[in-house]
Structure 1
Amino acid sequence: MRRSTVSRTLLTTAVVTTTALLATACGGSGDSGGSGTGSSSGGGKTLSIYAWAGEIPDSVVKGFEKETGIKVTVDTFDSNETMTAKLSSGASAYDLVEPSQYTVQQLIGQQLIQKLDHSKIEGLDNLAPKFRNPSYDQGNEYSVPWIWGTTGFAYNDTCVKSATSWKTLFDPKYKGKLYMLDNMLASYIAGLQVSGYRATSTDKDQIAKATDTLQKQKKILAGYNSTNYAQLLSTGQACAAEAWSGTAMAKVVQSNPRVHYVIPSEGGSIWTDGLAVPRGAKNTTSAYKFINYLLRPEVAALATDDGSSASTNQAARAHIKNKAALKNPAVYAPDSAIATSDFLLDPGTAMQYFQQGWTKIKAS
């Protein structure tokens, strides 16, 4: 994967808890730029972007610069928390940022991003239905989704004949050859869903039940692994493993026909990284031009062809040259599979229940 694997979902550190609490505490403060379209009209011929490393291909930036004459600077980060801290400090001068879905919620609460002016945006109807009115930002009021991926599991069919359910990762007959992601909320996605609950649950009792389920599962695991699980699956050292979609998993699925990536029948989860305009952005005209440029199907296709990521742009699929990626579930999960997948959201104060449970699991 191109980004730090522990940052794909919510982190388990106090940094996230603090950010979530700040989102609640700061919801009523800030200047007018936090709740509206901002006080500056934003001209100029420059654009400063703060994005995930590798997620906006150079070909996209160069194409935009050539067409518009706008000079683009892209700084990169490796965690949502790093990006949020920079915006919170007030020291940044970015015109666009690329938060993940739960961070969009937090940035809205802290009034660190502006409500988008949809009259200046063209091409939102090119987005796949899943991303047009997402649960974390209804009506796409604050963000435009750019790329996406999933949390599911993978298996090697020399060991596991066929699998569609999280139950595979809880089956004692595969003892010692099962792995879970070494990530708190990623593990809880499986623990909650296999127990019959939603991945987005913040219910104390449901989280407690999932904790008990994961504690029992630990006895049959080979370990928690967020680094080389794809390679372990490829060599047959692992029968099945919880997994994130993305470059590493996609390469193994593409090269080894015995390895299969699955969105579990219970739903799995879906993440997305999108573009938002920070409060106080100086070059909003350039920012909207860039958003519109990315919403063009032929440009959005470059997210896959040059960036190895799944594009949120449904219309882009006809323009993608890498047809193998479209058929690879570790890049593009089937529409039927993601229909029931939850966006992992900011659990807010319920984070304490996950942290307490995770401590018990790791200590058991």
Structure 2
Amino acid sequence: MKKLNSLFAGILVIILLLFIGVGQLERASGMAGADTLTIYNWGDYIDPALIKAFEKETGYKVNYETFDSNEAMFTKIQQGGTAYDITIPSEYMIQKMIKEEMLLPIDHSKLKGLENIDERFLNLDFDPSNQYSIPYFWGTLGIIYNDKFINEEEMQEWDDLWRPELKDNLMLIDGAREVIGLSLNSLGCSLNSKDNRELFEASEKLNSLTTNVKAIVADEIKMYMINEESAAAVSFSGEAAEMLDGNEHLHYVIPSQGSNLWFDNIVIPKTAKNVQGAYDFINFMLKPENAAQNAEYIGYSTPNKKAKVLLPEEISEDEQFYPSDETISRLEVYEDLGQEYLGIYNDLFLEFKMYRK
């Protein structure tokens, strides 16, 4: 009997140890639920001090992971594995995630501070009534140029990227929608075109740009432009803001031929383990003082109208980064192209990359 009791005691100890071990594993991997908030975001897309302040204010432990493209984020969430409580996709990807039923509807009764958001950034086509997403940042795609190498009047439109003086002196953002889109806009076409003739013409024109392209890169553009290793580049407004801070000879232009107006919004994936924590984070970021701090740190434009008032005037009144309604009227938001045309855009972009070699 003593041996039997010892056996039972041993089994209980093993079960207890396994239970503790599983709990530790869950906490380490961001799956612990109520005590942990797991955030999946773009790299360098929140002030780290705000994460620490959120943890202190709420008692949550934040697990923070990053992605470098909407498509990578979509695939990882779709595959499962880590149960992310918060992620921050762009508008066309939110549209796709809604179609794929990957998101939880937002319970607006749990929100505090939605009234702080500028009405222009609510109820947009990709998410009517903000049923699934809450605005985080917005911005544009444009041209950064160095006035030591290029005069202002020579770099105002997409067509200027084809100037022979830019030979081997142009950097492009590594994105199919952005690069194919700028060529479409330069031809007077929509950057959401599904017209095969327009796409062919845009591809042909883009291939003629290869002699000017020095590199197709991502975050490295900031360092290269600040260090004056290239005369011009195509990138996003927030990245441009950081470059302009690092070099007084740099300028940002939104071409009048048209460009991308983008929105990144906070969503809650259906696989979330800590839904209450997700709402706590959204409400924390809706506070004007937190949104303003984040905008000043990151450089992108805040949709929070009360936060904008708190920003230094040299930021809030800069039309390069808070463009006028007239400028915005010429811009387009990316739409979900569907699998077929997304594949075509990616193929054309890959062809352009191969054409350079």
Q: Shorter-normalised TM-score: what interval?
A: 0.7 to 0.9
Q: Mind listing any 5+ residue stretches in structure 2 that lack a counterpart?
A: 1-32
CA positional deviation for 1:191: 0.3
Distance 2:62 2:252 in 1: 36
User: What corresponds to 2:163 in structure 1?
Assistant: 171
> Which of 310, 334, 341 in structure 1 is aligned with 2:323?
334
User: Number of aligned pairs?
Assistant: 318
> Of residues 139, 142, 161 in structure 2, which corresponds to 1:152?
142
> CA 1:155–1:54 in structure 2 vs 1: closer, same or farther (change >3 Å)?
closer
Residue 88 of structure 1: aligned partner: 78
Judged with a 3 Å threshold, the aligned counterparts in structure 2 of structure 1 residues 215 and 73 are, in CA distance, closer, same or farther, namely same
Are 1:130 and 1:339, in contact at CA under 8 Å, matched by a contact in 2? no
Verify: 1:275 aligned to 2:270, yes or no: no
Higher deviation after alignment, 344-353 or 209-218: 344-353
- Picking from 47, 50, 54, the partner of 2:37 is 47
Secondary structure of 2:101 counterpart: coil
Per-residue CA deviation, residues 280-326 of structure 1 (Å, 9 max, x unaligned), is 43432332232122112112112123444432212211123x55444
Corresponding residue number in structure 1 for 2:93: 103
TM-score by length of 2: 0.77
For 2:52 and 2:351, locate their aligned partners in 1 and report how far apart those are by CA, in whole Å: 50
- CA deviation after TM superposition for structure 1 residue 173, in Å: 4.2
Residues 99 and 276, structure 1, Cα contact 8 Å, conserved in 2:
yes
Distance in 1 separating the partners of 2:147 and 2:353:
29
Task: Please list the CA deviations of residues 159-210 of structure 1 after superposition, one character each: whole Å capped at 9, or x if unmatched.
Answer: 3322321121122343343333343222112101001012222322221121
State the match for 1:254 in structure 2. 245
Instruction: Tell me how far apart the structure 1 counterparts of residues 123 and 212 of structure 2 sit (CA, whole Å).
Output: 40
Selected match of 2:63 from 62, 65, 74: 74
Q: Percent identity, aligned pairs only?
A: 30
After alignment, is 217-226 or 160-169 more displaced? 217-226
Residue of structure 2 equivalent to 1:319:
310
Quick check: 94-103 or 185-194, which moved more? 94-103
User: After alignment, is 229-238 or 104-113 more displaced?
Assistant: 229-238
Is the CA contact 2:237–2:300 (under 8 Å) kept in the aligned structure 1? no
Q: Structure 2 CA distance, aligned partners of 1:93 and 1:360?
A: 36
Pair 1:294-2:285 in alignment:
yes
Find the partner of 1:216 among 203, 208, 212: 208
Q: Which amino acid aligns with 1:108?
A: I
Classify 1:85/1:174 alpha carbon distance in 2 versus 1 (closer, same or farther; 3 Å).
closer
Report matched runs for 1:167-246 at 5 Å. 167-226=159-218, 228-234=220-226, 237-246=229-238
Equivalent residue number for residue 4 of structure 1: none
**What is the distance in 2 between the residues matched to 1:77 and 1:118?**
27
1:355–1:312: structure 2 CA closer, same or farther, 3 Å change rule? same
Which has a greater percent of helix?
2
Match of 2:50 among 60, 64, 72: 60
Change beyond 3 A, Cα 1:307–1:360: closer
- Taking structure 1 as the reference length, what is the TM-score of the superposition? 0.76
Match of 1:303 in 2: 294
Q: Taking structure 1 as reference, are residues 339 and 60 closer, same or farther at Cα in structure 2, changes over 3 Å only?
A: farther
1:347 corresponds to 2:328 = no
Q: Is the 8 A contact 2:170 2:215 kept in 1?
A: yes
**Aligned-residue CA RMSD (Å):** 2.9
Cα contact 2:309–2:316 (8 A) shared by 1: no
- Cα deviation for residue 122 of structure 1 reads 3.2
Aligned partners of 1:204 and 1:353 also within 8 Å = no
Confirm whether residue 356 of structure 1 aligns to residue 342 of structure 2: no
The separation in 1 between residues aligned to 2:221 and 2:51, in whole angstroms, is 33
